[in-house]
């Protein structure tokens, strides 16, 4: 997995490329935790180039969401492929994560 990061004012945008699974999820977990510990409270995960997510990937996002909730922060997801969105629906994660159709919408609602 490749992880591209950029800032838009006080919002961290993490663009995920490839597969988010047990082999790659630690990279995202380390990034989320270090950014949250450094004071970042608004994070958008852009999934437009995410090809696959496993339960390990879902767990990492949940860890980030819990850490952000503890500091009144927010994590939102955007641009999920239909088959990735289906994984979130089956896992019941659509009730946990705000999901937006594109990055513009996510930025407007974070």
3-state secondary structure the chain: CEEEEEEECCEEEEEEEEEECCCCHHHHHHHHHHHHHCCCCEEEEEEEEEEEECHHHHHHHHHHHHHHHHCCCEEEEECCCHHHHHHHHHHCHHHCCCEECCHHHHHHCC
CATH numbers and ranges of domains, the chain: 2-108 (3.30.750.24)
Average pLDDT of the residues in 79-90: 95
Average pLDDT of the residues in 9-26: 96
Task: Say how far apart CA 82 and CA 25 lie, in whole Å.
Answer: 21
- The pLDDT-based confidence of 17 (bands split at 50, 70, 90) is very high
In the chain, the percentage of residues whose pLDDT exceeds 70 is 100
What is the overall mean pLDDT for the chain? 96
- Residue pair 22/54 in contact (Cβ under 8 Å)? The answer is yes
pTM assigned to the model: 0.94
pLDDT score at 43: 98
Q: What is the DSSP pairing of strand 11-20 with strand 2-8?
A: antiparallel
- The pLDDT-based confidence of 90 (bands split at 50, 70, 90) is very high
Beta bridge partners of 14: 5, 45
């Amino acid at each position: 997995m490749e992880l591209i990061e950029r800032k838009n004012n006080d919002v961290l945008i993490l663009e995920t490329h490839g597969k988010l699974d047990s082999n790659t999820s630690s990279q995202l977990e380390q990034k989320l935790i270090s950014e949250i510990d450094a004071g970042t409270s608004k994070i958008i995960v852009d999934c437009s180039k995410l090809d696959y997510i496993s339960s390990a990937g879902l767990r990492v996002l949940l860890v980030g969401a819990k850490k952000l909730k503890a500091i009144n922060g927010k994590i939102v997801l955007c641009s999920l492929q239909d088959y990735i969105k289906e994984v979130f629906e089956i896992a019941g994660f659509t009730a946990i994560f705000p999901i937006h159709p594109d990055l513009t919408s996510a930025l407007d609602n974070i």
